[in-house]
Amino acid sequence: MRNGAEILKLGTLTITWWCIIFGAVWIACYLVGVAIPMLLSSYDSDAARITAETCRALTPILSVLVFIPINAMFMVLFERRGLAIFTVRLGPNRVGPDGYLQTAADAVKLLFKEDITPHGADAFMFTLAPIVFFAPSIFGAMPLLAAVTNYHELFQIVNLPTGIFFILAASSVPVVGIVMGGWASNNKYSLVGGLRSAAQAISYEIPLVLSLVTICLLAGSLDVVEIMKQQAGGILNWNILGGGALRGLDSALALKFSNSAPALQELSAKSFDQVLKTAYSDPAAAALGLVAGQDSMATIASIIAVVVLMACVLIAAGLYMTGACAEINRIPFDLPEAESELVSGYNTEYSGIKFAIFFLAEFTNLFVVASIFVVMFLGGGDCPVPAWLGNMLGGPQMASAINQVLSPLIAIKFVDPPTLFAAIWVILKVYGIVFFAVLVRGTLPRFRIDQLMDFGWKRLIPLSLIVFVLVVFAREFVNVHVGS
């Protein structure tokens, strides 16, 4: 660990900035969503009621509007410091204490820079492009908000029954902004960048969507909150490990290790193996066993199905990450802004606030795709430690101690413990994915455009279709989320 000191610094920096981000968003939400309506509730008038309701309804939007700029600012810093560690450098450490304010200073600089519209550019389109690029990342992520806050009452309003469909639809809009900006810049490099982006987005959206469709198929729902709730109860239930195929194992282990008296009684009646057996002899698998006249056939079919499911979902997760990297133009798929070929691609001619918006949107998009991954594959705000293991490790005591400490805040409704824990887990997981993306950025060179297309159409799309078909069959032989 030659970089131990730097890693430690990155850790403290991350925690400090998380506190800032959380503090700002939490206070804003509390003021608008809880405090003002509480104050207004003492007045018994229609106007007061309508105002209170409006405030509540505006809370999700407000939280996103507060969250995105601060978070993107931190992500830039996180990426720069993280990359610095990978590349034996120090990274920005001069502005503010140990570089904490570097991106704030950068943002101020960008705001005050001259906003140039190049000669011969289509001024209207040129201005519209960054907006079209940025807006979807605000409204597109709304349904996720309901999922990552553990379906808190203030955020229920933004949930949609077809949540993931809406998110994917919204996340494919920004490419229009890139093409628009590339075309309107009156610059050949920008134009090539914009067109490349369109080609790339079309090619890579297919494996991306197919991998998520696979998960929706396992979950039997398009509702992100529903998908998140199904994965509750520890890492074995998460979609990344077989899409719920290990649920039976989880409940068997829970029985085995639970110390409470009723469970003990149940355990005496039902042995560990029997629980496993009932979990892994789905009707379809059992039917197979009946036909063959063998009881173990059903179990074998189930186990094969579990293995297939686990492999398929892992591949789907990889496909999603690949597609998402291409979708948000990150290395190794950053062809639209390929610096060694196209100067800076579609945003070559942009400066000042418009460039800042492009920049902001890029990092917000990274955060959004990481959040989608967390909600769809990593159980959203779920604690990775299964409840039975948590009980053994003294989880409930810790939770009640935290509740004790926070009780004054809970009393004024400032803190809702399930939401708080969910938010903490989500941010940890999302930044884990972001860290992975930074690592990839620090490792890989860039594809060439024709190789990129080959890779997308000849490898990823067939693979995602195969995975989808395999999952269709495999889920018939084991209890996944839907059945249980």
Residues near another protein (CB under 8 A): 83, 86-89, 188-189, 192, 331-332, 334-335, 338-341, 343-344, 441-451
188 or 458: CB nearest another protein: 188
Closest CA to 77 of 21, 144, 136: 21
Min CB(454)–another protein separation in Å: 9
Min CB(366)–another protein separation in Å: 15
Q: Is the dihedral of CA 64, 70, 76, 80 positive or negative?
A: negative
Q: What are the DSSP calls for 322-365, one per residue?
A: HHHHHHTT-TTS-GGG-HHHHTTGGGTT--HHHHHHHHHHHHHH
39 or 444: CB nearest another protein: 444
User: What CA–CA distance (Å, rounded) separates 484 from 477?
Assistant: 13
Q: Angle at which helices 46-86 and 417-441 pack, to 10 degrees?
A: 30
Min CB(84)–another protein separation in Å: 9
196 or 229: CB nearest another protein: 196
Closest CA to 306 of 238, 253, 246: 246
349 or 382: CB nearest another protein: 349
Min CB(66)–another protein separation in Å: 30
225 or 342: CB nearest another protein: 342
83 or 128: CB nearest another protein: 83
413 or 458: CB nearest another protein: 458
Min CB(438)–another protein separation in Å: 9
49 or 441: CB nearest another protein: 441
User: What CA–CA distance (Å, rounded) separates 212 from 169?
Assistant: 13
Min CB(449)–another protein separation in Å: 6
Min CB(468)–another protein separation in Å: 25
First to last CA, the chain: 46
204 or 388: CB nearest another protein: 204
Min CB(441)–another protein separation in Å: 6
Min CB(136)–another protein separation in Å: 26
Min CB(93)–another protein separation in Å: 16
What 8-state DSSP symbol labels residue 280? T
User: What CA–CA distance (Å, rounded) separates 436 from 79?
Assistant: 10
User: What CA–CA distance (Å, rounded) separates 371 from 66?
Assistant: 17
Alpha helices in 378-460 (DSSP H): 387-392, 395-411, 417-441, 449-454
Amino acid letter, residue 337: E
Cis peptide before 462 (omega within 30 of 0): no
Min CB(332)–another protein separation in Å: 6
Phi, then psi, of 386 in degrees rounded to 5: -60, 155
Residue carrying structure tokens 């769809």: 376
User: What CA–CA distance (Å, rounded) separates 219 from 243?
Assistant: 8
Min CB(443)–another protein separation in Å: 5
User: What CA–CA distance (Å, rounded) separates 325 from 149?
Assistant: 25
Both tokens of 290, joined, read: 């009946």
User: What CA–CA distance (Å, rounded) separates 254 from 260?
Assistant: 11
| Contact call for residues 425 and 275 (beta carbons, < 8 A) | no
| Contact call for residues 272 and 256 (beta carbons, < 8 A) | yes
414 or 435: CB nearest another protein: 435
90 or 482: CB nearest another protein: 90
| Contact call for residues 306 and 245 (beta carbons, < 8 A) | yes
Q: What are the DSSP calls for 124-170, one per residue?
A: HHHHHHHHHHHHHHHHTTHHHHHHHTTS-GGGGGG--TTHHHHHHHH
40 or 331: CB nearest another protein: 331
User: What CA–CA distance (Å, rounded) separates 214 from 227?
Assistant: 12
Min CB(329)–another protein separation in Å: 12
202 or 290: CB nearest another protein: 202
- Between CA 10 and CA 97, with CA 105 as vertex, the angle to 5 degrees is 45
